[in-house]
């Protein structure tokens, strides 16, 4: 019999693999380490840290995450071949708990058009891969890709063969987001009935959101017997994304009386983790997104407000507190001290050590000098950007821009170098951001071409800070940088300087590595 407690759902987070695979969501090694640490604090059971065979950068980041040994099982993805499996093993083995995840497509469409393999060959390949992986580790997951479009009888055959070969988890992906809850429920019940040994392994579900049903389909699967859900923070992932972790976890928790299941997720970490991932990837969470969107707990309609004042449960099925959204109206300002700042940071769900608190507090003081009220969103932006704001070699001293219709914009930048010396440069450009970038290049000598500029307001009001994510190209490779300021041109310039500094530090370290680039091969 399975040792799995029947009512516990394991949360398998694939933000760093399937999520990171989505266009615009690639992360640097440093960013991936930050996300992995946050996922460990959220208490996910398994972190799928990447696909080591995809590129040397992927291998390095999976290895770095495994070597940190944050606590959750660290998993890497492999195709059914020896080289991929060996790479995963080499990358994940540093973690006390590690898993190899092998996959092969099983649907007729994939068999005929992608793999050009017969049914028997696919089974042979799956069995060979699971057997090899089991020789290396005790924890092996097998996924029949495009399972939801695979003939049921054949799917049961493949799954049976993988279990016999030693798979300890079998994951059923709805790779193209095609299924619907009632159909997926049937599929899981069919497998439970027709696959020998299925109760001795962990049955898992992995849904994509092409028809907007990834969460609903995952819930249908657990209702029918799955005990692991694969999901991503904010639902990021290929195309329309994956099952959103925060939504599926809160659905199980809020409707516990229906599902009679639970996860070990610390739900108060949901909002901070969501903010971290959106800030790192530059993929902003829509205002109306369930659980973590800005409006998720806002009640505008008079009749709702009236009900809420009588009793919150009239219109509220979850409390903002439950997911780590603080409802306090406390606003900090320039007279707020270190204690008030530190308490607020904690209430917002961030755990900073003394060194990080000091650096963030300095940035807070600078901001409070520019802006009367400092809101929670501002503090979050400070925390997200504090590394960048304080790491050199160059620091921004001042920036001035001049724009006039029908004229090129002009910018003058003053930077302070490592030796404390000031350098200044002026430049013109197609707009103020372009001109500022040119001026920064004039001082640092690092050319960056702007590919994308995303702006997001961190709070309300006319003195709100703009949080900017830029994607820039240097030597044919893409890099992402972040900045936040009440002046959006300054925020963009900080983001440009952040990338410049990373490139220069890389140069100082003596050469190319993959820790800063966001370009990489995908599956």
Closest CA to 190 of 162, 155, 158: 155
How many other β-carbons are positioned within 10 Å of the β-carbon of residue 326? 16
Closest CA to 322 of 314, 331, 313: 313
> Residue 445 Cβ, how far from ligand KIV at the closest point, in Å?
42
Return d(Cα 277, Cα 480) in angstroms, integer: 14
Q: Per CB under 6 A, which of residues 163..192 are in contact with ligand KIV?
A: 171, 173, 175
Letters for 139-158 (x = contact with ligand KIV by CB under 6 A, - = none) are ----x-x-------------
Q: At 278, phi and psi to the nearest 5? A: -70, -35
CB nearer ligand KIV, residue 14 or residue 278 = 14
26 makes contact with ligand KIV (CB under 6 A): no
Closest CA to 433 of 418, 419, 413: 413
> Residue 461 Cβ, how far from ligand KIV at the closest point, in Å?
42
Return d(Cα 219, Cα 249) in angstroms, integer: 10
> Residue 147 Cβ, how far from ligand KIV at the closest point, in Å?
8
> Residue 175 Cβ, how far from Zn ion at the closest point, in Å?
6
CB nearer Zn ion, residue 105 or residue 126 = 105
Per the rule left: phi > 0, alpha: psi between -120 and 50, beta: everything else, 177 is left
Of the candidate spans 16-24, 60-68, 70-78, 313-321, the one that interacts with Zn ion by CB under 5 A turns out to be 16-24
Give the one entry of Zn ion, ligand KIV, none that residue 103 binds, where binding means its C-beta sits below a cut-off of 5 to 8 angstroms depending on kind.
ligand KIV
With CB under 5 A as the contact rule, the residue among 13, 18, 141, 363 that binds Zn ion is 18
103 makes contact with ligand KIV (CB under 6 A): yes
User: Which class for 59: exposed (0-12), middle (13-18), buried (19 or more C-beta within 10 A)?
Assistant: buried
Say which residues have a Cβ less than 8 Å from residue 507's Cβ, sequence separation at least 6. none
Give the one entry of ligand KIV, Zn ion, none that residue 364 binds, where binding means its C-beta sits below a cut-off of 5 to 8 angstroms depending on kind.
none
Give the one entry of ligand KIV, Zn ion, none that residue 375 binds, where binding means its C-beta sits below a cut-off of 5 to 8 angstroms depending on kind.
none
CB nearer ligand KIV, residue 176 or residue 331 = 176
Return d(Cα 59, Cα 117) in angstroms, integer: 28
CB nearer ligand KIV, residue 61 or residue 175 = 175
With CB under 6 A as the contact rule, the residue among 87, 89, 206, 482 that binds ligand KIV is 206
> Residue 144 Cβ, how far from Zn ion at the closest point, in Å?
12
DSSP string, 464-476: PPEEEEEEEEETT
278 makes contact with ligand KIV (CB under 6 A): no
376 makes contact with Zn ion (CB under 5 A): no
> Residue 179 Cβ, how far from ligand KIV at the closest point, in Å?
12
> Residue 399 is inside which H or E element, if any?
strand 395-402
18 makes contact with ligand KIV (CB under 6 A): yes
CB nearer ligand KIV, residue 84 or residue 145 = 145
Structure token digits, residue 139: 């924890």
> Residue 103 Cβ, how far from ligand KIV at the closest point, in Å?
4
Return d(Cα 12, Cα 415) in angstroms, integer: 44
481 makes contact with ligand KIV (CB under 6 A): no
CB nearer Zn ion, residue 52 or residue 377 = 52
CB nearer ligand KIV, residue 232 or residue 385 = 232
CB nearer ligand KIV, residue 175 or residue 500 = 175
* Count of residues touching Zn ion (by CB under 5 A): 1
> Residue 263 Cβ, how far from Zn ion at the closest point, in Å?
20
Give the one entry of ligand KIV, Zn ion, none that residue 143 binds, where binding means its C-beta sits below a cut-off of 5 to 8 angstroms depending on kind.
ligand KIV
- 452, 456, 458, 463 alpha-carbon torsion, rounded to 10°: 100
CB 260 within 8 A of CB 7: yes
DSSP string, 66-130: HHHT-SSEEEEEEESSHHHHHHHHHHHTTSSSEEEEEEEE-SHHIIIIII---HHHHHHHHHHHH
Alpha-carbon Rg of the chain, whole angstroms? 25
Return d(Cα 153, Cα 16) in angstroms, integer: 33
Number of residue whose CB is nearest Zn ion: 18
3-state secondary structure 55-68: CHHHHHHHHHHHHH
Tokens 């016999």 correspond to 164
CB 184 within 8 A of CB 206: no
CB nearer ligand KIV, residue 204 or residue 469 = 204
Return d(Cα 187, Cα 151) in angstroms, integer: 10
Residues that bind ligand KIV (CB under 6 A): 18, 103, 143, 145, 171, 173, 175, 206, 208
Residues that bind Zn ion (CB under 5 A): 18
């Amino acid at each position: 019999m399975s040792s799995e407690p029947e009512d516990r759902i394991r949360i398998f987070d694939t933000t760093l693999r399937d999520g990171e695979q989505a266009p615009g969501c690639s992360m640097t090694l440093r960013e991936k380490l930050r996300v992995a640490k946050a996922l460990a604090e959220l208490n996910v059971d398994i972190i799928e840290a990447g696909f080591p065979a995809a590129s040397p950068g992927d291998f390095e980041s999976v290895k770095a995450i495994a070597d940190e040994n944050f606590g959750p099982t660290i998993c890497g993805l492999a195709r059914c071949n020896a080289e991929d499996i060996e790479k995963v093993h080499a990358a994940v083995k540093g973690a006390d708990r590690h898993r190899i995840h092998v996959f092969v497509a099983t649907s007729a469409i994939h068999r005929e058009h992608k793999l050009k393999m017969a049914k028997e060959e696919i089974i042979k390949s799956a069995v060979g891969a699971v057997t090899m992986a089991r020789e290396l580790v005790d924890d092996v997951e097998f996924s029949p890709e495009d399972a939801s479009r695979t003939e049921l009888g054949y799917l049961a055959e493949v799954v049976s063969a993988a279990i016999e070969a030693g798979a300890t988890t079998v994951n059923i992906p709805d790779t193209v987001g095609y299924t619907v809850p009632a159909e997926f429920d049937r599929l899981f019940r069919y497998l439970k009935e027709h696959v020998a040994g299925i109760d001795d392994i962990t049955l898992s579900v992995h849904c994509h959101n092409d028809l907007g049903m990834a969460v609903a389909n995952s819930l249908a699967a657990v209702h029918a017997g799955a005990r692991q859900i694969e999901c991503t923070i904010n639902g990021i992932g290929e195309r329309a994304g994956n099952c959103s972790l925060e939504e599926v976890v809160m659905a199980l928790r809020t409707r516990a009386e229906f599902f009679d299941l639970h996860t070990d997720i610390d739900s108060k970490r949901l909002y901070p983790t969501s903010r971290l991932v959106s800030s790192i990837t530059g993929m902003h969470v829509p205002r109306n997104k369930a659980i973590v969107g800005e409006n998720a707990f806002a009640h505008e309609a008079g009749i709702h407000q009236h009900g809420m004042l009588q009793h919150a449960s009239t219109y509220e099925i979850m409390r903002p507190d439950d997911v780590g959204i603080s409802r306090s109206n406390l606003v900090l300002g320039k007279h707020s001290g270190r204690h008030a700042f530190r308490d607020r940071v904690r209430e917002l769900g961030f755990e900073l050590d003394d060194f990080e608190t000091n650096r963030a507090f300095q940035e807070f003081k600078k901001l409070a000098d520019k802006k009367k009220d400092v809101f929670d969103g501002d503090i979050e932006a400070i925390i997200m950007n504090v590394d960048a704001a304080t790491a050199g070699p160059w620091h921004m001293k001042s920036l001035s821009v001049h724009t006039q219709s029908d004229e090129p914009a002009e910018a003058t930048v003053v930077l302070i170098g490592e030796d404390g010396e000031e350098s200044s440069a002026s430049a013109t450009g197609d707009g103020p951001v372009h001109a500022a970038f040119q001026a920064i290049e004039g001082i640092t000598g690092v050319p960056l071409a702007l590919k994308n500029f995303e702006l997001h307001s961190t709070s309300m009001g006319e003195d709100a800070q703009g949080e900017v994510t830029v994607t820039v190209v240097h030597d044919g490779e893409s890099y992402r940088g972040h900045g936040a300021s009440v002046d959006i041109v300054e925020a963009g310039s900080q983001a440009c300087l952040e990338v410049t500094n990373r490139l220069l530090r890389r140069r100082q370290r003596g050469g190319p590595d993959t820790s800063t680039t966001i370009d990489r091969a995908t599956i």
